[in-house]
Structure 1
Amino acid sequence: MIRLQNLRKNYTVQGKTVPALMGIDLTIEKGEIFGIIGHSGAGKSTLIRCINMLERPTSGHVIVDGVDLTTLDDRKLQEQRRQIGMIFQHFNLLSSATVAENVAFPLKLAKRPKAEIDKKVNELLTLVGLEAHRDKYPSQLSGGQKQRVGIARALASDPKVLLCDEATSALDPQTTNSILALLLDINRKLGLTIVLITHEMHVIRSICDRVGVIDGGVIVEEGKVLDVFLKPQHPTTREFVEQVADSAELREVVAHEKAAGDQTIVRITFLGEKTYQPILFQTMQETGTMFSILQGTISRMKDTPYGQLVVELSGNPEQNSRAIETLRQRGLEVEVM
């Protein structure tokens, strides 16, 4: 659906060339939710704006649904942009227009018939749960409601791709979750390809299928969210994972326990239905190994349940080794810390 090939973007600042993107190669499949995460200044906003050519790349190719946008003149590019919706961090609504008028705006620009516009606006307001607010103005709406208007407006032209530029960073956690749930619902109902940039790992973990980590204008890590979250390879990725994994607290606990004795400390990862099965208890009972849980969590990544436990094994070395091997044989990932 989206292919970026050797994408580069430079800016000129006080006569000097400043690179923002340095040879990005990325493929985003049709119908998936792809997250791009990075710190401020890493290049993620430039990257997403290059996808719809709001920023023209210095070099490289942006191919959306088989069309290379970098080769198009302004008129043809404008036509192709109708296939790419975009929502923004600060909503970008028309303050003097009602909710319905904001949603209708791109359709009026495209000179669609009034009856078609009214029908589409009604459908979209129902989709985003704002049918009762159609005659209100943006100043009368909450932040979450404003973003729902932005989503409805972005969907007005029936795009194949929806770009989300920090779409939840101005919202409180509860509202963020409701917007993420709406995006996931839209993805499933409409088969829409969604590209979402953020600096919050919680957002990536909640709805994304795959993720790319950008740092210094380069994609430093990419893969399925489960793989990247549970086995981060790059230091930048590990920083983001620590946002939701209490890693600093865990390091302190592990250091304290190691200082107290020579027990074996392991991190056990459960995926899918194994998350809810008593595999740990059964294994320790069978191997006669005593254990203490130092830290644990059960959560979901999009549709996949997962759990992680940090456990101190208090058996003798032979018992501990047998317990670890049995856990691995039963499909769990065990990391000796």
Structure 2
Amino acid sequence: MIRLQHISKIYESGGQQTAALREINLHIKPGDIFGIIGHSGAGKSTLIRHINLLERPTTGQVVVDGVDMTALSYRKLQEERRSIGMIFQHFNLLSSLTVKENIAFPLRLAKLPQDKVQRRVKELLGLVGLESHADSYPSQLSGGQKQRVGIARALATEPKVLLCDEATSALDPQTTQSILSLLLAINRRLNITIVLITHEMQVIRSICDRVAVLDGGVIVEEGAVADVFLKPQHRTTRDFVAQVADLSEMDVPGDRSPGSRTRVRITFIGEQTYEPVLYETMSEMNVPFAILQGTISRLKEIPYGQLVVELHASGNEAAQTIAALQSRGLDVEVLTYE
């Protein structure tokens, strides 16, 4: 659906060159919700603006739905951009227009007949839950309502792709969750591909299928959210995971005196999160254990759990117990031997 191939962006100022993006390669599949996470200055906004060519790459190619965007004339590019909607952190609504007029604005630019404009606006007001606010002005709306208008306006021309530039950063946590739920519902209902950038791992964890971690204009890690979240490889990724993952970097309490014990971190994914896999395995192996720390949560709709467990076993007995756990599909990481 979306391919970024060898994208680099170099800015020049006063004879100095600054690389905002370096050799970016991404493939985003149709219907996915793809997250791009990074700290301020990592190049997130620059990257997402390359997808609709609001920023043109210094080198590289942008292909959207089979169309090489970088090879288009200005007129053709304007036409292709109608298939790419975009919502912004600060809403960018026209203050002098009502809600329904803001939503209708791109349709009027496209010179659609008035009856089609009215029908489409009514449909979108229902989709984002703002039927009762059709005649309100932006100044009369809450932040969450403004963003719903922004989403409806971005969807007006029935795009194939929706770009979200820090769409929830200006919202409180409760409103953020309602907007994320709306984006997830839109993705399911319309099968629209969504690309969002954020600096919050909670956003990625809530609705994304895949994620790329950006640091200094370079993608340092990419993969399925479950893989990246539960097994972060890069330091920057581990920093983001630590925002929401209780067990990633915490010091685990417990008896640290020498003895025949092995401390492990066990990760459960899917329905096994709620099954007595640990108890059954330990009973079969006849190994006493103690749970030192644990959490259960969700990655999008996938349940997962992480436990730090102290096995009262060492050496060959511990190795056999770990192998038994792994044979049941659990991920087991040895933390310490004592």
Q: Deviations over 1:243-279 (max 9, x none)?
A: 111247x5322xx536344431111111111111011
Partner of 1:94: 94
> How far is 1:212 from its partner?
0.8
Distance in 2 between the 1:130 and 1:157 partners?
A: 18
2:299 is aligned, of 298, 301, 310, to: 301
Partner of 2:167: 167
What SS does the aligned partner of 1:252 have? coil
Matches within 5 A, 1:241-280: 241-247=241-247, 251-253=250-252, 256-257=253-254, 259-262=256-259, 263-280=261-278
Structural RMSD (CA) = 1.5
Percent identity reads: 68
In the alignment, is residue 11 of structure 1 matched against residue 5 of structure 2?
no
What SS does the aligned partner of 2:236 have? helix
> How far is 1:318 from its partner?
5.0
Partner of 1:47: 47
Distance in 1 between the 2:98 and 2:255 partners?
A: 62
Matches within 5 A, 1:49-88: 49-88=49-88
| TM superposition score normalised by structure 1 | 0.95
| TM superposition score normalised by structure 2 | 0.95
Gaps of 5+ in 2: none
> Residue 330 of structure 1 aligns to which amino acid in structure 2?
R
Deviates more, 1:180-189 or 1:314-323: 314-323
- Number of residue pairs aligned between Structure 1 and Structure 2: 334
Distance in 2 between the 1:305 and 1:251 partners?
A: 21
Distance in 2 between the 1:163 and 1:307 partners?
A: 31
> Residue 272 of structure 1 aligns to which amino acid in structure 2?
G
Cα pair 2:262 2:314 within 8 Å, conserved: no
Deviates more, 1:301-310 or 1:76-85: 301-310
Cα pair 1:288 1:319 within 8 Å, conserved: no
Matches within 5 A, 1:294-333: 294-315=292-313, 317-333=315-331
Distance in 2 between the 1:335 and 1:187 partners?
A: 35
Q: Deviations over 1:92-127 (max 9, x none)?
A: 011111111110110111111111111000100100
> Residue 281 of structure 1 aligns to which amino acid in structure 2?
Y
> Residue 257 of structure 1 aligns to which amino acid in structure 2?
G
Q: Deviations over 1:208-261 (max 9, x none)?
A: 11111111111111111111111111111111111111247x5322xx536344
Deviates more, 1:308-317 or 1:9-18: 308-317
Cα pair 1:295 1:309 within 8 Å, conserved: yes
Partner of 2:279: 281
> How far is 1:14 from its partner?
2.7
Distance in 1 between the 2:239 and 2:118 partners?
A: 47
Cα pair 2:246 2:295 within 8 Å, conserved: no
Distance in 1 between the 2:294 and 2:325 partners?
A: 17
In the alignment, is residue 177 of structure 1 matched against residue 177 of structure 2?
yes
Distance in 1 between the 2:71 and 2:197 partners?
A: 25
Distance in 1 between the 2:14 and 2:78 partners?
A: 31
> How far is 1:286 from its partner?
2.5
Q: Deviations over 1:308-333 (max 9, x none)?
A: 11111224655433332221111111
Gaps of 5+ in 1: none
Distance in 1 between the 2:283 and 2:317 partners?
A: 11
What SS does the aligned partner of 1:257 have? coil
What SS does the aligned partner of 1:243 have? coil
Cα pair 1:31 1:193 within 8 Å, conserved: yes
Deviates more, 1:12-21 or 1:139-148: 12-21
Cα pair 2:265 2:332 within 8 Å, conserved: yes
Partner of 1:236: 236
Deviates more, 1:34-43 or 1:320-329: 320-329
Distance in 1 between the 2:99 and 2:258 partners?
A: 64
Partner of 1:212: 212
Distance in 2 between the 1:283 and 1:23 partners?
A: 47
Distance in 1 between the 2:131 and 2:94 partners?
A: 18
Change (3 A) 1:258 1:12: farther
Q: 1 or 2, which has the higher helix percentage?
A: 1
In the alignment, is residue 30 of structure 1 matched against residue 27 of structure 2?
no
Deviates more, 1:9-18 or 1:210-219: 9-18
Q: Which runs of 4+ in 1 moved over 3 A?
A: 256-262, 315-322
Distance in 2 between the 1:13 and 1:269 partners?
A: 49
